[in-house]
Amino acid sequence: MGKLIIDGIEVEPDPSKTILQVANELGIHIPTLCYHPSLPYYGACRVCIVETIWRGRSTLSTACTFPAWEGEVKTDSEMVRKARKVILELMLAEAPDSPEIMELAREYGIEETRFKVRKERIGNKCIQCALCVRFCRDVLGIGAIGFKNRGYTRELTTPFEIYSDVCTTCGACEFLCPTNAIDLSTISPNKPIPLLSEYEAGLKQRSCINIPFPQAIPNKPVLDRDHCMHFLKDACGVCSTVCGPQAINYDQEEEIVEEDVGAIVVATGYDLYPIINIPEYGGGKYKDVLDGLQFERLLSASGPTAGEVKRPSDGKVPKRVVFISCVGSRDPENHFPYCSKICCMYSAKHAMLYKHKVHDGEAVVFYIDIRSDGKGYEEFVTRAQEEDNVLYIRGKVSKIYKNEKDNLVVMGADTLSGNQIEIECELVVLSMAVRPKEGTNDLVNKLKIQADANGFLTEAHPKLRPVETLTGGFFLAGAAQAPKDIPDTVAQASGAAAKVVSMFSEAEIHKEPVIAAVDAELCSGCQMCIPLCPYDAREFDEKNKIAVVNEGLCEGCGCCISACPSGACQQRNLNDTQILSMIKVALEK
């Protein structure tokens, strides 16, 4: 068997592949428009045309359909360029207003097509490569779009030229179209719902398969099962066809791993109170009202705008930004009574960073009190005020609305001067209240630990045991216990870790001395106590015909004691006689 020579590079022929695939593997560029690796070859656009030479005879073939047999292939010969030129000129006559085709034509030295452009094609961008039609039908199994008519009147449309009722507005057609000819709003009346990146706090779209954030460990893509068409409709599967190493595995399931552990540190963190709960500040209504985390992403060099401060509604650089502290916190009537602790400092940081990025910008902070209690914190706020000229206004904001210039107007009171003020600005950042992470309550019930009225986890003692819970073996760290900043979290987490280590380093466990005991003389062996015990600490001693207590397992709740009909079962150090004496003393008064 002979060799396959592509542009002078010798490879083994492999008829199961096409010339295009082999060329791509070799890194040889062949232009394509209608080709997609997840679809069977189609050969509609013809721009991938190459010269194939076999036994001295040279012909033109489309690389996307021609098998990689032995012979010679030239991808950029004079003959190929000439043929492509004609193809592109014909394409330009068909789709005269497509910038992508014009760009490709220019690469081949074509400025204008020699063919006549029919007047019904003026403004047309579609080159009828059918990529969208094939993808919708063959990969997604929907078939919301197709062609009508034949020959030179062929046109892309929906069946009967009415809105498609099967279109799921997935947007694949719009995304795939090589000439941007598709407008999804002509196919379906429904608006596509964008998938927003959680990491970018909803300021950027993400795909169904994505690496959650740049430093993710392991740094591998994950599939969003709730939105992936493969899981929803058993269709698509494009990611597995384009993945070279075949790493996509749709059968992978979440697994439950069981581990025996000696201690659990609960460090579930916090959520921000959703902005939508503050309608008077336009939360959820105005795009330019952000929460602190969103603004943090906007400032980040790896963020959705690559570090440029641009407001989400129109991409304009805001010249005045208003920061509002205590939104939802310190508001016992409407929201939460506590102070969220971190907002004063991050507002100051945000205002400073904004001023560093937008030099002619103005930053205004509304505050009730500035709580800068930490090492160097007060100096930091002073620096924001004095060096970066951040304007601090003491007062609460009552309302935010949009004016006719599409800017936001912040209405509030300046409690130092006693005046009502209105500030027109282009972006508002709300310092939303810190809430316990969603699901903390379920965890509390599961672990049998305690939470306070606001849902934050309760420590065993507010001063003397701040990292332990009342339940043995459970420790606390971070904002799950109360709102706290990074230094405090690190300190508490180190404390919790040290507590765990000191617990593990002891040879014996310490238990409360209050546990159940059985008086063998009185026990009738009725076994009433055995099924009651939640810890399986009660067993029946077959030899002596009495119920016994496993002292290692008993936690001392005492539910077996009150169930014992003969009074044989008693709680050591808290028996009935002791309790009765307590009652007696209590009633002697």
List residues binding another protein (CB under 8 A): 445, 448, 450-453, 458, 462, 470-471, 512, 514, 532, 534-535, 555-559, 561-563, 571, 574, 576, 579-580, 582-584, 586-587, 589
**Residue found by looking up tokens 């159940």 in the block:** 516
CB nearer another protein, residue 284 or residue 565: 565
Copy the structure tokens of residue 76.
Answer: 């950029």
Q: How far is the CB of 531 from another protein (least distance, A)?
A: 11
Q: How far is the CB of 261 from another protein (least distance, A)?
A: 19
CB nearer another protein, residue 358 or residue 574: 574
DSSP state of 328: S
Q: How would you class 377 by CB atoms within 10 Å of its CB: exposed for 0-12, middle for 13-18, buried for 19 or more?
A: middle
Beta strands in 39-135 (DSSP E): 49-54, 57-62, 67-68, 71-74
Find the Cα–Cα–Cα–Cα dihedral 142, 143, 145, 146, rounded to 10°: 170
Phi–psi pair at 587, nearest 5 degrees:
-95, 0
Instruction: Identify the CA nearest to 570 among candidates 558, 554, 582.
Output: 558
| Crossing angle of helices 78-94 and 99-107, rounded to 10° | 160
CB nearer another protein, residue 9 or residue 526: 526
Q: How would you class 108 by CB atoms within 10 Å of its CB: exposed for 0-12, middle for 13-18, buried for 19 or more?
A: middle
CB nearer another protein, residue 184 or residue 557: 557
Instruction: Identify the CA nearest to 336 among candidates 454, 452, 451.
Output: 454
CB nearer another protein, residue 388 or residue 555: 555
Instruction: Identify the CA nearest to 36 among candidates 238, 300, 202, 230.
Output: 238
Copy the structure tokens of residue 91.
Answer: 């394409």
Q: How far is the CB of 534 from another protein (least distance, A)?
A: 4
Q: How far is the CB of 571 from another protein (least distance, A)?
A: 7
Q: How far is the CB of 453 from another protein (least distance, A)?
A: 5
Instruction: Identify the CA nearest to 351 among candidates 370, 338, 335.
Output: 370
Copy the structure tokens of residue 389.
Answer: 């000229």
Q: How far is the CB of 549 from another protein (least distance, A)?
A: 14
Q: How far is the CB of 437 from another protein (least distance, A)?
A: 17
Instruction: Identify the CA nearest to 476 among candidates 504, 514, 450, 505.
Output: 450
Q: How far is the CB of 448 from another protein (least distance, A)?
A: 5
CB distance 51 to 60 below 8 Å? yes
Instruction: Identify the CA nearest to 319 among candidates 311, 330, 331, 329.
Output: 311
Find the Cα–Cα–Cα–Cα dihedral 327, 332, 335, 340, rounded to 10°: 50
CB nearer another protein, residue 222 or residue 470: 470
CB nearer another protein, residue 122 or residue 585: 585
CB nearer another protein, residue 522 or residue 579: 579
DSSP state of 9: E
Instruction: Identify the CA nearest to 469 among candidates 485, 457, 487.
Output: 457
Q: How far is the CB of 439 from another protein (least distance, A)?
A: 16
CB nearer another protein, residue 544 or residue 578: 578
CB nearer another protein, residue 79 or residue 528: 528
Q: How far is the CB of 463 from another protein (least distance, A)?
A: 10
